[in-house]
Amino acid sequence: MFLRWVVVWVKEEKRVAKKLGGAYIFGVAKFGRRPEEWKRDTLSSESNRLSASLEDYLEAMLFVILEKNGVRAKDIADRLSVSRSSVTSALQVLASKGLINYAPYDVITLTPEGEKQAERVLRKHTVLQEFFTDILLIDPEKAEAVACKMEHEANEALVERLSLLSQYVMESAESPADWREKFTRYCRERKLAQKAEK
């Protein structure tokens, strides 16, 4: 069920990205961490929690799989703008945790647990990004960058509440365009008032 929603979201994101000049901005940051950073961040093997960097790798794999129906280490390196050796090290850790099926020079696949983890990260990212753009009216590129950082720290309950708040605001507003205009004006006026106080 969720995977079908992801495919629709990816298609909508491509459409929006084309309107922004053709640069595809998916839910994966254009920056990655060096292997020594994610090894240090990774919790003990008995914990199911992954470091932010390893979650980024899973999320990147899910996007590439949805785009190309398969993923290789080179695709991940290109998507995250990291070295192939960093990708190889991350893939080995993810394979040892049972989240991916990995063999050098072969197509990489997500295990059912890996797919579940990747979808969880993607859902958090999507809800946060939509909240920032649709409710807080933040520039899409800035919203993307902030959502990418926050997705790793926000718990499921917070993300669900933000999703419900977004739905409530959009459904209860007289018209979303009217609500956005009023909020933008309010923010502008508050900013001017704060400058005047200083």
pLDDT digits (tens, 9 = 90+) for 114-172: 999 999 999 999 999 999 998 888 899 999 999 989 998 999 999 999 999 888 888 87
Q: Do 29 and 86 touch, CB atoms closer than 8 A? A: no
On the question of pLDDT at 24 being above 90, the answer is: no
Give the C-alpha separation, 86 to 88, whole Å: 5
Query: Among 1.10.10.10, 3.90.1310.10, 2.40.40.20, 1.10.287.130, what is the CATH number of 2-172?
Result: 1.10.10.10
Q: Which residue has the tokens 């040892």?
A: 96
88 vs 184, which has greater pLDDT?
88
- pTM check: above 0.85: no
On the question of pLDDT at 21 being above 90, the answer is: no
Contacts of 76 (CB under 8 A, 6+ apart): 57, 60, 61, 64, 82, 87, 91, 108
- Rounded to a whole number, what is the distance in angstroms from the first to the last CA of the chain? 52
Tokens of 175: 């018209």
Give the C-alpha separation, 71 to 100, whole Å: 11
Q: How many helices (H) and strands (E) does the chain have?
A: 9, 2
| 35-44, 90-99, 174-183: range with highest mean pLDDT | 90-99
On the question of pLDDT at 34 being above 90, the answer is: no
Confidence of residue 99 (pLDDT cuts 50, 70, 90): very high
Give the C-alpha separation, 120 to 67, whole Å: 18
| pLDDT recorded at residue 197 | 75
Tokens of 99: 């989240």
Give the C-alpha separation, 74 to 151, whole Å: 24
Confidence of residue 3 (pLDDT cuts 50, 70, 90): very low
Tokens of 131: 């909240």
| 4-13, 45-54, 88-97: range with highest mean pLDDT | 88-97
pLDDT digits (tens, 9 = 90+) for 53-77: 999 999 999 999 999 888 999 999 9
On the question of pLDDT at 187 being above 50, the answer is: yes
| pLDDT recorded at residue 180 | 79
